[in-house]
Amino acid sequence: MSIINSDKSNKSQRKYPIPADAITTLPYHYNHIHDLIDPLSRQWLQESSLFTPEQYNRVANTGLYTEYFYPFITDEDRYDVLNRQMVNFAIIDDHLETPYGDIDRQAMKAKPVLDQFYHVYAKLLGGPNSEHISAHSWKPYVLATAPVRRISVAFMPIYYMCEYAHLMFVPEDEWHNPRMQRLFKLLSKAGVMCNDIYSFEKKVLDAGGLPDGAYNGVSVLCRMHDIPVADAMHRLAQMCRELEREAQGLVAEIQMADWACAHMRDFVARLLWINGGNWKVCTIY
């Protein structure tokens, strides 16, 4: 959930400019209650984060996501809970940012782990005759990092919190409906792609200025297809828009489905606002 400054004053300073087609087709809206609640959350969050004040400042503004993820909540207590939870997601994610769980971004320690990922890509691209990958120093847990983070601190728990945020209950059988699960997959992938585009420059800086040192969708496309960063960003933006369009069609389908209750029909519409809001925060902060 990394945030990168990308307002008009910063765009000219980027080494890797954001492509013009990196825009969302989804709705977004700002919740003005955030201005009242966010200052009340911060002291508690810093004390519970186990970060120094300097480290905490890296994630302190993550509450900006709350104002766009849940834009129509008016209950102050419920919004405060959501805002604290949002910053806690960032705190946990920052602790997990490298395989050593180090807030200081020890890029050289992370490099062997990233190399393992790239070896896997090379083998998959090379087909059955590609080179053998030695398991001598293999760390199997590395391959589980991304799905664990997706479920625990990324878009899925943000979607789950919609039930609490809007006082809804989605029945279990509807939750596990294949069309609903497909929607979760589409939107979470689109959200990650959006974040990867806007956070790429920050990730590269954290990796000592080396694009290959950042585990990011832009870096992966550059490596897999041997293309420049600008082309990789453009391709990722196109992929993201395709996922958003399919998600919008799927929401319309679910809202008309006989199996979907009133809460489910409202729930799926709220998910689109989360992804639209995610893009908006990426572009303004």
Angle at 99 between CA 97 and CA 104, to 5 degrees: 50
Q: Is the pLDDT of residue 152 over 90?
A: no
The CATH number linked to 94 is 1.10.600.10
182 found inside a domain: yes
Determine how many CB atoms are found less than 10 A away from the CB of residue 97: 21
Helices (H), the chain: 8-11, 34-49, 53-56, 64-69, 76-95, 107-126, 145-152, 155-165, 172-175, 178-206, 217-225, 229-256, 262-284
Reading the block at residue 257, the tokens are 């489905």
Q: How far apart are CA 256 and CA 78, in angstroms?
A: 30
Q: How far apart are CA 211 and CA 220, in angstroms?
A: 9
Reading the block at residue 62, the tokens are 């993550």
pLDDT tens for 254-279 read 999 999 999 999 999 999 999 999 99
pLDDT tens for 4-23 read 333 433 444 788 899 998 99
Q: For residue 43, what pLDDT is reported?
A: 74
48 found inside a domain: yes
2 found inside a domain: no
Is 266 within 8 Å of 61 (Cβ atoms)?
no
183 found inside a domain: yes
Find the distance separating the first CA and the last CA of the chain, reported in whole Å: 12
State the total domains in the chain: 1
Q: How far apart are CA 197 and CA 276, in angstroms?
A: 15
Q: Is the pLDDT of residue 183 over 70?
A: yes
191 found inside a domain: yes
Q: Where in the sequence is the domain holding 105, given as residue range(s)? A: 8-284
145 found inside a domain: yes
102 found inside a domain: yes
Reading the block at residue 256, the tokens are 């008309």
The residue that leads in pLDDT, 201 or 55, is 201
222 found inside a domain: yes
